[in-house]
Structures are given as structure tokens and as C-alpha cells.
Amino acid sequence: MHNLTIDPDRLWRSIMETAAIGGTPKGGINRLALTDHDRQVRDWLKSACEDLGCTVTVDEVGNMFAVRPGRLDVPPIAVGSHLDTQPTGGKFDGILGVLAGLELLRTLDEAGYETNAPLMLVNWTNEEGSRFSPAMLGSGVHAGVFDRAYADSRTDRQGVTFGEALDEIGYRGPAKVGSTAFGAMFELHIEQGPILEAEEKAIGVVTGVQGMRWYEIALTGREAHTGSTPMSLRRDALVGAARIIGAVEAIARAHPPGVGTVGLVEVGPNSRNVIPGHVFLTVDFRHPDDAALDVMEKALFATVEEAGRASGLEHALRQVWNSPAVAFDPALVDAVRRAADGLGLSWREIVSGAGHDAAYVARIAPTTMVFVPCAGGLSHNEAEATSYEECRAGAQVLLAAVLDHDRR
């Protein structure tokens, strides 16, 4: 057994230092994928890893891999997560997993500790899917779920493509997508939900990730004068959207513990005295059981048909993302459980409500996650908060689980 301990002050300093990159006046972070802020934090990470003597390679969709050599020439054990954030993101979502991984590299380096397997720190491109949908695009390309051309073609709401933005920040690397070998992956992340805090558990032993599906809906009615158009002659796209938004909430509540959200709505022409002629909206459905998602999806399709008929709208609905429920590797889940027990930390098993790159990495290597609580279970919010002690405990469990696995 090792008695290595991470340096919690150094970890906390790194979290606060990088939080300034894209920091918002309310204390959150706005560091959308492939923006100049993303470039700055990538540069920060690259030089921190190179200072430790790691070799940093970047693949064709910007995924970053920093490798610390091991004693044996075997596929590396990976840690890490993502550096991009939501537009009103917090200081910990994604980057805690990357900086805890960096803290492991620093701790092992200081101790001159030689692992059997190389240790690799990963930053996955565009995990959030906020600027470029779908989410988990970089890890999805690595796992063969999407190809490089598909990723390059994704466009943001301003019409900028993923490929253009990646080239703009200079992070299209030479490594062929999917060519970086993985022996295993452990991803540390905040829970982003209320369970660990409510049950006063220090660690989430994550057994899997629930299923997730995203849809895009375009509704077309007819713009007309709000004053002179009788109600009976209207084709109001926003009234149709309102029906769908209400139905998404009802469909999710009818299939617990499923969740449903309309997060993005664009109305045109968005003028107070013009009947809205078109609306673009997105739907995010999640459920631990893929069969339940099938039922929810059918209900959504029926809803859009009905809204179209009732308001006289043309309507187009398409599924743009389907990430089935994932179960993590039992041996790695056990390593996390043993690590938490060995450190005397309370824990509970949990299925992730949020999506993570680990869900795709699990397709190509044994993978699992470690969760730590966040205040009020709040995330994707500038007030997102996780304590110094929770970050310390999470990074220490990550170290113990990685070294446990490395010795097996």
C-alpha cells in the first residue's frame, strides 16, 4: 500500500487560478468549447504537464493526452475530464477531474513514484455540447461513435463550424482520432445532483450513466399582425411550442425517475406585435432505462404532430443524439469502493444523471467515475460550489483507486 497524499492546497490553487480563465462577474465560468478562453486554459494545462516532463499529444479533434511514462510498456491508465463549460457554468464541472488528474501527476512526480502502467491525463473536447451539439463529441469521436468529418461539420447557432473553431484556436493536433491507447479510465467529477449531499456521503461510487437523447424541433406558422388577425385565422408557432414544452414536462413526470427539458428556444421574428412565424426548440430526455426513453420519445413525436395540427404548423422533429445507458466496469467500481473504504470515507453507489465522457470511453476500455458532492446539488449554474475538503477527498480517492488498479 502506498502512503502518498495529494497536496490539497496546490489542487485548490489550480482550481482558483484556472477559474479566472473565462470567469464571470458572478463567480462562475463562461468558457465555451473552442473559444479563446478554451485555448487559454488548454495552453495552461499543456505547459503544466510539460513542466512535469509529460509528453502532450493532441488528436485531430483537439482531445489532449499528457502521458507520464510507467515502468512497463502497457496501455496507460487515464484520468481527466473536460475543460469546456456551459455559458453560465461553475468552477468545478469538468475541470475538477482534469486538475485532480494533474495533481496526481504532480504528487507521483514529487515522490518519484514509478507506476507500472503509464499515467495519462486527458482533456476531452466539447464535452458540454452547449456550443456544438451533441455533448461528449471529442470522446465520442475517440470511441468511434462519431467520425471526424461529423464533428468538424457541427455548427454553433452563429453558423461557425466545429472544424473552423478548432483550427482558429490552433488545437487540431496530428494524432489520428482513436489512435491513443487506453488501458483503463477513472474520471473524477462533481455529482451535479443532490443525492450525496442529502445523504451526507463524501464519495459517489459511480456504477453507470443514464440514457440521454436530444431532439431538435422546427415549427413554422405564419407571421401576421397581432392587432388585425382574428384568433381563428392564426398559425402561431409559439403557441405550438408552448404545447410541446408543457408536454415535455408531463411526459418526464409520467416516467419517473426520467427527466425532460426544453433548454433552447429561438422565436422569429421575436417582435411584440408580430405573430411568431417560426420557433426552433430543443428537447433533452434522460432515463436510466432505454426502454422508458423509447416510450417518452413516442409520446414526444405524437405531441409534435398534435401541436402542428392544432395550430396549423409545419413541423420537423429529429433526434440529434442518442447515448444509451452505460454500466461501468465492475473491477474498477470495486477499486473506487476499496479506495473510499481505505480512506475511511463514507460512500454510496450512484448512477450518474449527467452525461460524461466516461460514458463513451467505457466502450473502448474499462472505465468508471468517482463523484464528490456539490452544494445544493447545483451545477450548470454560476453558483456551483464544492468545498476544499470535498476536492481533497475526491482527488485522494482517485489516486488510491488508480494505484490500486495499477498494482493488479
Annotated binding site: 82, 93, 128, 189, 380
Taking residue 391's Cβ as centre, other Cβ atoms within 10 Å add up to: 24
| 316: its cell numbers | 420537423
The CA–CA distances, whole Å, from 117 to 20, 74, 270, 364, 395 equal 34, 6, 57, 17, 19
Binding mask 94-133 for Mn ion (x = CB under 5 A): x---------------------------------------
Compute the Cα dihedral for 279, 285, 290, 291 and give only its sign: negative
Query: Which CB, 190 or 219, lies closer to Mn ion?
Result: 190
Query: Which range, of 4-12, 88-96, 278-286, 296-304, touches Mn ion by CB under 5 A?
Result: 88-96
Alpha helices in 85-161 (DSSP H): 95-111, 137-142, 148-153
Grid-cell match 459511480, residue found? 206
CA distance 161 to 132: 8
**Is residue 355 near ligand HGY by the rule CB under 6 A?**
yes
| 336: its cell numbers | 473506487
Return all residues near 291 (Cβ < 8 A) that are at least 6 apart.
none
Query: Which CB, 59 or 127, lies closer to ligand HGY?
Result: 127
To Mn ion, the closest distance from the beta carbon of 93 in angstroms equals: 4
Choose, by CB under 6 A, the member of 60, 128, 156, 297 that binds ligand HGY.
Answer: 128
DSSP label of 231 = G
To Mn ion, the closest distance from the beta carbon of 178 in angstroms equals: 22
129 binds, among ligand HGY, Mn ion, none (CB under 5 to 8 A by kind): ligand HGY
Query: Which CB, 127 or 236, lies closer to ligand HGY?
Result: 127
Are 216 and 318 spatial neighbours (Cβ–Cβ below 8 Å)? yes
**Is residue 84 near Mn ion by the rule CB under 5 A?**
no
**Is residue 135 near ligand HGY by the rule CB under 6 A?**
yes
**Is residue 93 near Mn ion by the rule CB under 5 A?**
yes
The CA–CA distances, whole Å, from 267 to 101, 134, 205, 277, 311 equal 42, 22, 42, 8, 16
**Is residue 62 near ligand HGY by the rule CB under 6 A?**
no
To ligand HGY, the closest distance from the beta carbon of 354 in angstroms equals: 4
CA 57 to chain centre: 22
Return all residues near 220 (Cβ < 8 A) that are at least 6 apart.
237, 277, 278, 313, 314, 315
Query: Which CB, 184 or 354, lies closer to ligand HGY?
Result: 354
To Mn ion, the closest distance from the beta carbon of 109 in angstroms equals: 26
94 binds, among Mn ion, ligand HGY, none (CB under 5 to 8 A by kind): Mn ion
**Is residue 354 near ligand HGY by the rule CB under 6 A?**
yes
CA distance 180 to 82: 17
To ligand HGY, the closest distance from the beta carbon of 82 in angstroms equals: 8
355 binds, among Mn ion, ligand HGY, none (CB under 5 to 8 A by kind): ligand HGY
**Is residue 193 near ligand HGY by the rule CB under 6 A?**
no
Interacting residues toward Mn ion by CB under 5 A: 93-94
Interacting residues toward ligand HGY by CB under 6 A: 127-129, 135, 354-355
